C-alpha cells in the first residue's frame, strides 16, 4: 500500500449478504490507509448482514442502513454520492479483493478518470470466458483508447466491464451521476459507456478481483432469455445516447 497515493473510498451496496460479506470486507480493509474509508449502504437486508457489518470494529467503515429496499443500482448511487475520497473504488458484497488492487487501480487513475481491471473466478483463479466466443475474457491496456470499439463491445455483450473491478476519480461523479432513471441494472456498464464516450477509460491488465459465483449474484452467471437480452441492449443504446448528450452539454458549458 502506497502512503502517498490519494485518499480512497470503497463503495459497497449490501443486501442479504450474510454468507460472504465479512470475508469480503476482511479482504478490503488491509489495503486501505488510515485516512481511507469503506462506505457500506445496506438495501434493507432481511438477514444478519447489518448485524455482521456493524460488529466489525473499524473506524474506516461508514455504514448507512436504508429503511426501504431501493435496488442495488440506487444503493450504489447513494454510496458513491457520499464518498469522500479522491478515488472511488467499487465492491460487491461477495467477492475477494486480490492483493495490490488499490495500488493498481490508483496508478491507472493517474492518467484517466475511470479504471477497469481484469478479474478471475474464486477460488480457482481461472479466467472468465466470453459468452460470445468462449475464449478467455480479458481487458487489454492497449485497447483503453479504442473508445468506439469498446462501446460496441458493450452493446453486443462482449465487454468484460464489471463494477466490482472498477474505480473512478471523484470528479467523474459529475459525469456519471445521477444514474439515468431507466437504469434498472448494469450501472457498471453505464459507467463504462460514459468513460469511453468521454475517452477517459483505462484498462488494467492485472487481476484485482476474485469473483465468487453463486445463485444470488446480481450479475447473472447463466445466459438470460432472449427478451431480457433485448431489453438490456435497448437500455444500453439509450445509455450511449444519454452519455453523449451529457458530454456535449459539459463541453458547451466549458
Classify domain 8-253 at the CATH superfamily level: Spore Coat Polysaccharide Biosynthesis Protein SpsA; Chain A (3.90.550.10)
Between 144 and 219, name the one with better pLDDT. 144
| In the chain, where the domains are located | 8-253
Q: What is the torsion angle, in degrees rounded to the nearest 10, for the CA atoms of residue 154, residue 146, residue 247 and residue 243? A: 0
Cell of residue 253, nine digits:
458549458
| Cα 80–chain centre separation | 10
For residue range 18-67, what is the model confidence (pLDDT) as tens digits?
999 999 999 999 999 999 999 999 999 999 999 999 999 999 999 999 99
**Closest by alpha carbon to 214, among 113, 92, 102?**
92
Q: What is the mean pLDDT of the chain?
A: 94
**pLDDT band at 1, cuts 50/70/90?**
very low
Cα–Cα distance for residue pair 71/14, rounded to 1 Å? 10
E strands, the chain, are: 8-14, 37-42, 61-65, 87-91, 96-97, 114-121, 166-169, 201-211
Give the whole-angstrom CA distance, residue 152 versus residue 237. Answer: 10
Tell me the whole-structure pTM to 2 decimals. Answer: 0.93
- Segment 101-154, tens digit of pLDDT: 999 999 999 999 999 999 999 999 999 999 888 999 999 999 999 999 999 999
**pLDDT at position 200 over 70:** yes
- Confidence tier at 10 by pLDDT (50, 70, 90): very high
Amino acid at each position: 500500500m502506497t502512503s502517498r497515493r490519494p485518499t480512497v473510498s470503497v463503495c459497497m451496496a449490501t443486501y442479504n449478504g450474510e454468507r460472504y460479506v465479512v470475508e469480503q470486507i476482511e479482504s478490503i480493509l488491509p489495503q486501505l490507509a488510515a485516512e481511507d474509508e469503506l462506505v457500506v449502504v445496506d438495501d434493507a437486508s432481511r438477514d444478519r448482514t447489518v448485524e455482521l457489518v456493524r460488529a466489525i470494529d473499524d473506524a474506516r467503515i461508514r455504514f448507512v442502513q436504508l429503511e426501504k429496499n431501493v435496488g442495488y443500482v440506487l444503493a450504489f448511487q447513494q454510496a458513491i454520492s457520499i464518498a469522500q475520497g479522491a478515488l472511488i473504488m467499487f465492491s460487491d458484497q461477495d467477492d475477494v479483493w486480490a492483493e495490490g488492487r488499490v495500488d493498481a487501480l490508483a496508478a491507472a487513475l493517474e492518467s484517466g478518470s475511470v479504471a477497469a481491471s481484469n478479474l478471475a473466478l474464486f477460488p480457482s483463479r481461472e479466467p472468465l470466458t466470453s459468452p460470445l466466443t468462449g475464449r478467455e475474457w480479458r481487458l487489454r491496456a492497449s485497447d483503453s483508447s479504442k473508445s468506439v470499439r469498446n462501446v460496441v463491445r458493450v452493446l453486443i455483450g462482449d465487454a468484460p466491464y464489471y463494477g466490482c473491478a472498477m474505480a473512478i476519480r471523484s470528479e467523474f461523479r459529475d459525469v456519471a451521476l445521477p444514474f439515468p432513471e431507466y437504469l434498472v441494472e448494469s450501472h457498471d456498464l453505464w459507467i463504462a459507456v460514459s468513460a469511453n464516450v468521454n475517452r477517459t477509460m483505462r484498462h488494467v491488465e492485472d487481476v484485482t478481483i476474485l469473483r465468487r459465483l453463486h445463485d444470488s449474484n446480481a450479475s447473472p452467471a447463466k445466459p438470460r432469455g432472449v427478451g431480457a437480452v433485448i431489453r438490456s441492449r435497448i437500455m444500453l443504446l439509450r445509455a450511449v445516447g444519454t452519455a453523449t448528450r451529457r458530454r456535449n452539454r459539459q463541453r458547451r458549458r466549458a
